[in-house]
Structure 1
């Protein structure tokens, strides 16, 4: 899943009416994957609306318990993201046949991930944990694992992560800040998305790796 787009926006939605124009703005900027969090009451309805937008892969974030897996899958989620590792959430996602990215913060979490047969995870919160250095440290004993760092990622630091072979994608919120959505500044969302994809492409080319973006 992480090969689809190198930058995954993490959205905290306050108004479900903003979901479709937001998705259209991201697609115009070259991003066709988005994570809608369940941090607000509008999250589930927004996910349902975005799931109908052609060309956009919509995932649900901040999934904490198995019942939420059922809710988001029925709303059209194409993948599930959690801030930490929950065996029950991972197992329910497997039962519903939907990809899951559990959050990890260290080797103990990764041991549990390996036991469940997963090879892609969300590293959270990546910045406070130590940034690219912690990816390198964890990737050594878990050589087959692929990471999506999240938390503290900025346009200026994303390249440090994407230059690492086990990092096919990063996630962040700078492209979809809540003020941009509240003010319906869709052109700015498109511009930030396009800038992020262009930066990812340059960093990947500089390191001899393909960007993974479909743009």
Structure 2
């Protein structure tokens, strides 16, 4: 049994709709994963993306998956092996910088909802043709920022985006104000120095501030 792209997009849309910001996390030490997730969830950011860029990433996903109220996804999915490992670690959804047929097929086979990346109208159209309607716009700032995403959205109103890459408190509202944007991915809510210091109260405060972006209550 496989997960259809349409159903995958609906599930991914639900995760993305939980808060205006999805924290993009690079975790060096899995022992910090659970308290980090607890701080972010307490601050109002329940959907979390753990990037598969460190040796401890999969263990971090395992630890975070047990946090009440949290929904942990695996980012930087590149290969079918990444997909299977992420699913086995307890990831509720996946995120990729781009999309290949092999990656999409693996996510569908593993029933892992995917937020696939696209940076151009052609890439977005190819994913839409397959049935994906909830996409990641990446790298957002390097690809033209909010003006580019607004322009892409004009002829493709069926697609909703989560822009990621270069998003900060200074420009997040530019994206969140667009009609084709549901949320944005950002790493500023979990600074490396705060994680290393175990400053969970500080991270919770950053999360609370981020949760207010885009007019969210």
Does the aligned pair in 2 maintain the 1:86–1:102 contact within 8 Å?
A: no
Q: Normalising to structure 2: TM-score of the pair?
A: 0.90
Equivalent residue for 2:146, pick from 124, 132, 139: 132
Equivalent residue for 1:98, pick from 100, 107, 112: 112
Matched, 1:153 2:167: yes
What is the CA-CA distance between 1:67 and the residue it aligns to?
1.0
Aligned residue in 1 for 2:92: 78
Aligned residue in 1 for 2:198: 184
Unaligned runs of 5+ in 2: 1-12
Matched, 1:107 2:121: yes
Equivalent residue for 2:35, pick from 21, 31, 54: 21
CA offsets per residue over residues 19-55 of structure 1, 9 Å max, x none? 0000111112111110000000010000011011111
Matched, 1:58 2:78: no
Provide the rounded CA distance (Å) in 2 between the counterparts of 1:134 and 1:85.
Answer: 20
Aligned residue in 2 for 1:207: none
What is the CA-CA distance between 1:116 and the residue it aligns to?
1.6
Aligned residue in 1 for 2:58: 44
Provide the rounded CA distance (Å) in 2 between the counterparts of 1:44 and 1:180.
Answer: 21
Provide the rounded CA distance (Å) in 1 between the counterparts of 2:180 and 2:125.
Answer: 17
Provide the rounded CA distance (Å) in 1 between the counterparts of 2:153 and 2:99.
Answer: 18
- 4+ aligned runs moved over 2 Å, structure 1: none
Instruction: Out of 10-19 and 179-188, give the one that drifted further.
Output: 179-188
RMSD (Å) for aligned C-alpha atoms: 1.1
Provide the rounded CA distance (Å) in 2 between the counterparts of 1:67 and 1:95.
Answer: 12
What is the CA-CA distance between 1:200 and the residue it aligns to?
2.8
Secondary structure of 2:111 counterpart: coil
Provide the rounded CA distance (Å) in 2 between the counterparts of 1:98 and 1:173.
Answer: 23
Provide the rounded CA distance (Å) in 1 between the counterparts of 2:214 and 2:34.
Answer: 25
Aligned residue in 1 for 2:24: 10
Provide the rounded CA distance (Å) in 1 between the counterparts of 2:125 and 2:210.
Answer: 32
Provide the rounded CA distance (Å) in 1 between the counterparts of 2:131 and 2:47.
Answer: 24
Provide the rounded CA distance (Å) in 1 between the counterparts of 2:19 and 2:106.
Answer: 25
What is the CA-CA distance between 1:199 and the residue it aligns to?
2.6
Equivalent residue for 1:141, pick from 145, 151, 155: 155
Unaligned runs of 5+ in 1: 202-210
Aligned residue in 1 for 2:9: none
What is the CA-CA distance between 1:74 and the residue it aligns to?
1.0
Provide the rounded CA distance (Å) in 2 between the counterparts of 1:199 and 1:81.
Answer: 22
